[in-house]
A and B are shown apart, each in its own frame.
Chain A
Amino acid sequence: MRIVALGADHQSAPVALRERLCYARSEIGGALGALAALGAAEAALITTCNRTEVYALWPRDAGALASFLAESRCVRPEELNGRLYQVADSDAVAHLFRVACGIESMMVGEYQVLGQVREALEAAVEAGTAGTVLRRLFETAVRVGRRARSETAVGQGAFSVGGCAVQLARSVFGNLQGRHTLIVGAGKMSEVTARHLADQGADSVIVANRTYERACQLADCFGGRAVRYDELFECLGGVDIVIASTSAPHAVICRDDMARVMRARRGRPLVLIDIAVPRDVEPSVGELEGVYLYNIDDLSSVVAQDAAARHKEVVKVERIVAEEAEAFAAWRASQAAAPLIASLRGRFEQVRREQLERAGPRLAQLPPEAREAVSELTAAIVNKLLHAPTVKLRGLLTDGNGDQRAEAIRELFDLSEDGAGDRQ
């Protein structure tokens, strides 16, 4: 049976369609059950905000899978026209590997997708639709995803302005554990950035805001403390990282004030992240000894550079994907061919034994060594005859016509489905 993959992602479908195709976690089990009822031997579903993909061992044509998706998501089938991609067999395998490596993602190399592939497998196991093939396929995909990220730089660098701020703070302080962060201006952007830093251990947060109540709210989110706006410069002496994003129309941190602060700090480094537009920090503050001042453009350009560097790694990842897809195909072929080869061998062996038995009376006149030689000779002939078919069969059964070919071979050699050699 063929592995068929069918789905939509940010390249094939607009967001309006993608969001309708997206399954809620609670709906996945039901959908997998429905797929099994439609004839899928095995099935799994990857569903994220940017991607919905069905993987199935599917006996029917891919169109039926598309209609299933339309029906299951209450989308009119014609809406899906040209919006879905479908791949089968080794292409489907390679596609899943690429997805797991993050090179099909909008943000190349992102890590979340690896977790989503793992979740897809878990959901399929739970629903009972993950058999030998899909289980191995998804487990391999997760491993390939990890391999790509460790052997290439596809997962390296900053993915967002917040991630870039973390990178900068790391290059200045090393470990962020126990670092003090000061948020100036309690906007959404500063909250997101501070969250990134807090996730890395920069746990002590002080918030200074024009309206004290808002400062208190944000400080509560981080378990930090709020200070009045006029205490700002007193705080600057004791913190390590400052995130400025006020809506002030002019700079709130000037060079002269900062020079005084830095003198008191005696060269202790200070990371200043200015994500406000217009800027909160006078650009010349960055010239002060010990100050590392990055504005939103600086951070964005680092993010863009890192993204470009990751894009360059895609070629290497493709190489890994191709190698792993080939290994998977080889496993699949051995899986598919094994029972057939076994029954073929069983059939030949059976014939050999029958013929030896029939010749038994005549052979009885021979000395024991000669009888032994005849037995060995016939076994060698059988082995010789079966060698080429054994090797060739592995390749013949993997593509779309595999099932028909297997059927033809069974008929040709009169092998019953559950014949002598089929016990394995």
Chain B
Amino acid sequence: MSATHLVLLAAALVAYLVAAGCYLRNLWGWDEAWTRRGAVAVAAALALHAAALIAWTMEVGAPPLANTTQTLAVVSWCVVALYVIVAARWQIARAGAFVVVLAAGAILLTLLGPTRPGTLPAHLLREPTLAAHIVLSIIGYGAFALAFCAAAACLLQDFLLRAKRLGGLSRHLPSVQDADEAGYRLVVLGFPIFTLGLILGALNAHRLWGHIFTWREPKEVFSLITWLVFAAYLHARGLSGWKGRRMALLLVAGFLLVLVTYLGAMGARFHTFTG
């Protein structure tokens, strides 16, 4: 396998780290010029990242969706792309530091992560329902990850304001309410997509393994718990009108579950695709 995609991924990683440096420099200082530099670095990183994914697809002959390590590169691209689309509109551009750090971490995992033998056979990837299950899950995860970034910014801002630290850091973070609102919108966006992904997953499970859901598969169990947490969030936030710190904490909890579902379930029985 040629290494073009690895080189491009590494370049994207460097660009993300540069962007992270710019954003952090902005958070701790006064100079607004750093946000502009950060935005430029993010755009460059996103382009390199996209190029890496395309190169990878061409090298393997199929999109890099065959195992967790590969999809991580796609999920992180989704997070950043989503951020670029909604940042200015939903006033969370200033949460950029969280986003790029997350993306850089994901790419690092892809680059260093285990190249596990267990990958999805290419012929299965060509099946529309299975491909849709994977793609929808990835977009859903991406939206939840970005919602987590907004929630983290919200919590940090809340902490600073309570500690009476109205200095540069507080000024360069999104406001409590904007971050809260953006988190909600992202879950509203991501939840139906994630749900659809789950349903397609269940159908595929039924077709391939003969069950719709089983307690014996950690990935399926954690997916269900994740789904329930975000459903609870939407209920509390959307229907009962709860806002603020508690909702942000719920989003963080939801994201931790996403991580467990996504990475922690590597010990899964069925999603390892070895057999």
Contact = CB atoms under 8 A, between A and B. Distances in A.
Nearest to A301: B164
Category for how many chain A residues contact B: 20 to 34
A173 B177 contact: yes
B243 A171 contact: no
Nearest to A294: B164
A167 B175 contact: no
Interface residues of B, number: 28
Nearest to A267: B244
B171 A266 contact: no
A268 B160 CA distance: 17
Nearest to A298: B164
B233 to A, nearest CB: 13
A174 B171 contact: no
Interface in B19-72: 29-31
Pick the most buried of A168, A174, A298: most chain B CB atoms within 10 A of its CB: A174
B110 interface: no
Interface in A159-180: 164, 167-168, 170-175
Pick the most buried of A266, A298, A305: most chain B CB atoms within 10 A of its CB: A266
B157 interface: yes
A237 interface: no
A300 to B, nearest CB: 11
A268 B245 CA distance: 9
B166 A302 contact: yes
A79 B42 CA distance: 63
Nearest to B174: A174
Contacts, number: 72
Nearest to B165: A302
B162 interface: yes
Contacts of B168: 309
A309 B170 CA distance: 15
Contacts of A172: 161, 175-177
Contacts of B176: 171-173, 269
Nearest to A290: B244
Interface string B178-208: 1000000000000000000000000000000
B156 to A, nearest CB: 11
Nearest to B164: A298
Contact of A267 (B29, B170, B246): B246
Contacts of B162: 286, 292
Interface in A385-420: none
Given A156-B30, A298-B164, A171 B244 contact: no
B94 to A, nearest CB: 10
Contact of B243 (A164, A168, A174, A268): A268
Contacts of B161: 168, 171-172, 292
Interface in A359-392: none
B241 interface: yes
A359 to B, nearest CB: 65
Nearest to A156: B30
B264 interface: no
Contact of A173 (B173, B175, B244): B175
Given A171-B161, A298-B164, A302-B164, A267 B243 contact: yes
Nearest to B177: A173
Given A167-B166, A172-B161, A267 B178 contact: no
Nearest to A268: B243
Contacts of B166: 158, 164, 167-168, 171, 302
A153 interface: yes
Contacts of B31: 153
Nearest to A292: B161
Given A269-B177, A302-B164, A174 B91 contact: yes
A270 to B, nearest CB: 10
Interface of B: 29-31, 91, 157, 160-162, 164, 166-168, 170-171, 173-178, 240-247
Interface of A: 152-153, 156, 158, 164, 167-168, 170-175, 266-269, 286, 289-290, 292, 294, 298, 301-302, 305-306, 309
Given A171-B166, A171-B170, 13 more contacts: A158-B166, A168-B166, A171-B160, A171-B171, A171-B173, A171-B175, A173-B176, A174-B175, A267-B243, A267-B244, A267-B247, A302-B164, A302-B167
5 shortest interchain CB distances as A-B pairs? A153-B30, A267-B244, A174-B175, A174-B178, A267-B243
18 contacts: A153-B30, A171-B160, A171-B170, A172-B175, A172-B176, A174-B174, A267-B243, A267-B244, A268-B243, A268-B244, A286-B162, A290-B245, A292-B162, A298-B164, A301-B164, A305-B167, A309-B167, A309-B168
